[in-house]
Amino acid sequence: MRLVRGAWKILVGIKDALVLILLLLFFAALFAALSARPNRAAIHDGALVLRLDGTIVEQPEEVDPFAALSGRSVAHQYRLRDVVRALDAARTDDHVKAVVLDLDRFMGAYPSTLVEVGDAIRRVRASGKPVLAYATAYTDSGYLLAANASQIWTNPMGGVLLRGPGGSQLYYKGLIDKLGINAHIYRVGQYKSAVEPYMRSDQSPAAKQAATAMYDGIFDEWKQVVAKARPQAKIQPFLTNAAQAVEAAGGDLARANLAAGMVDKLGGRVAFGQAVAKIVGAGDDMPAGNFNAIDYSDFVAAHPMSTKGAAIGVITVAGDIVDGKAKPGSAGGDTISKLILDGLKDDKLKALVVRVASPGGSALASEQIRQAILQAKAQGLPVVTSMGSLAASGGYWVSTAGDVIYAEPNTITGSIGIFGIIPTFENTLKKIGVTTDGVKTTPLSGQPDIYGGTDKAFDDLLQAQIEDGYSKFVGVVSKSRHLTPERVNEIGQGRVWLGGPAHQIGLVDKFGGLQDAIAEAARRAKLDPKDVHAVYLEKKPSDFAKFVQAFTKKENGDDDDGDHVSADLFGHFALERRETMARALGDARRLAEGGSVQARCLQCTALAPASASPSDTRLLDLILNRLTR
């Protein structure tokens, strides 16, 4: 009996200790979140610090609460329109004496996004306010932003290494064969390369031709933007023979960059901070290298979007287009269509702008979203499409609903084509001794048979469905763009186009960004563009999501003890490879899960920032944890 009472006391003690620990963790997290919440009143004289430790995207994904609260480092996603608004507000805000770009852990963005942010940085510089950029190591994306700054700093142990777009893509045919998986592929489009990783071990000549044209166009604009922003930079030797250029400087990359005019100063963070402090000041009690800083989140909160004038609705179609519901960062057919239809109930909307930043996805969901947009036209509202970084395949399908289509010169678009993949595992099961047999009453009985594969009747039926889907896609484009079906088929076939060529062949009407599209929508509604404001039709984050988001935010310039990768070149490359591995695992999982008929662009994802989705990263972490136990 005494033993039982002792055991009970131990259990009660363990329970009380766990409750106490949970309470302490809760209040610690609550304090951290409240401390990190944007505070409009906290704006004071200093430097606006943009610590871009992540990617710039059209629509950030919701932070995974388990990853955030577990203490694991979470790469941030910064909303494009917020970054641009903050930079434009910095030009006229008297509190802002300078802008600091902290690009040490910048993971990149799509080409048109980088150009838009770069233009905003250059506007700050043109206003007379200094913009200082710092990174231990710059790659292409970070350097394009930094080139627009007044002064570029890099660590003497780092430097600028330019690689240009392109490189290897992952092909899974060899893995599929080893696993005994049979990927049944149904597609239309000579250039529809999104299925090639599952049916080939290399890139087809048609896909290589299309990719070369796209990469060349993007790279040409990148070089033009850098040359315009920083004409003194002699970057060509570092693009044609970087090793030789660095060897000429005794192997010192940073010194070679300095001699070529690519950077202005070499120094560590303390030296950089002291240089900023000379411009914006520093408190007497601040350690060396610190300066009066304005928090980005506080600054964005202090400069909200205008609510004056008539309302122009803006619906964002960002990320993969999927069936059903989806959280921000993905475009669920049910979710997006509901947001549109709910917004149309408000008679205050005078026009609708469809902002597309998607590589496509489900053809069914794409059509569902397009039909919802057409309801705005049925109510007499002008509809304008604004293509962001990419609007390809299903993204272009959605875009056709606009009366006029805006795009940037390096927007990735087109990819008019569809496909479907059904994996079966008959060969896998044979390896472990599993066989199948049965009785069929029709040619389609038991099809698709995950154990026995597919038969010709089933394959013919699905291929017919894919061809019919492509015909519908061509018809939608033909009607909306006033082109013959033959012409659409000629420029379709799954081929990807940049905004410039797309304008020439009639897939795009005008060049311009989101604000240009909103102004166009206002004019079509017979309103003065100066007297309208945007109303974003989007689901507001829950209080818990805001709490988690605030908890993950770190004060600009502060370090933490999280799981950070080194910010030098080796660290950048190691992180890129890790993210590539995570995407490969995610692709394998998506293949095994199957899916609907797809209108998706492979080249679009190849140009995406070097950052895997949170779900792919969690899968990699799970596998690595099990392997290292």
Give me the active site residues, please: 192, 393
Place of tokens 């940073």: 254
Across-strand partners of 587?
none
The SS3 assignment for 352 reads strand
Token duo for residue 116: 């838009």
With beta carbons less than 8 A apart as the criterion, state whether 381 and 300 touch.
no
DSSP codes joined into one string, 142-201: HHHHHTTSSEEEEEEEEEE----S-------HHHHHHHT-EEEEEEE-TT-GGGHHHH-S
Report the half-sphere exposure of 546 (CA within 13 A, side-chain side). Answer: 10
Q: How many CB atoms lie within 10 A of CB 25?
A: 11
Rounded to an integer, what distance in angstroms lies between the CA atom of residue 76 and that of residue 110?
16
Residue 514's closest CA among 401, 408, 377? 408
What whole-number distance in Å separates Cα of residue 599 and Cα of residue 359?
A: 8
Q: Which of 152, 131, 155, 132 lies closest to 267 in space, CA to CA? A: 155
The CB-side HSE value for 511 (13 A sphere, CA atoms) comes to 13
Unique residue bearing structure tokens 């943009």: 50
CA-atom Rg of the chain in angstroms: 27
Total residue length of the chain: 629
At 40, list the tokens.
Answer: 């409009």
Continuous H helices in 403-454: 426-431
The whole-angstrom separation of Cα 280 and Cα 46 is: 5
449: which DSSP letter?
A: B
Phi and psi torsions of 50, nearest 5°: -105, 95
Question: Phi and psi at residue 608, in whole multiples of 5°?
Answer: -65, 160
Coil/strand/helix, residue 413? strand
In angstroms, rounded to a whole number, what is the distance separating the alpha carbons of residues 218 and 221?
A: 5
Helix 543-552 vs helix 2-36: angle between axes, to the nearest 10 degrees? Answer: 80
Q: For residue 490, how many other CB atoms are within 10 A of its CB?
A: 12
Tokens of 44: 């004071």
- Distances in Å between the alpha carbon of 207 and those of 196, 410, 491? 9, 19, 14
Tell me the two tokens of residue 418: 């569809």
Q: Classify 63 as helix, strand or coil.
A: coil
Query: Quick one: tokens of 326?
Result: 């989806």
Q: 96, 50, 140, 18: which is closest to 576 by C-alpha?
A: 140
Half-sphere exposure of 558 (CA within 13 A, CB side): 11
The single residue listed with the structure tokens 């660290």 is: 571
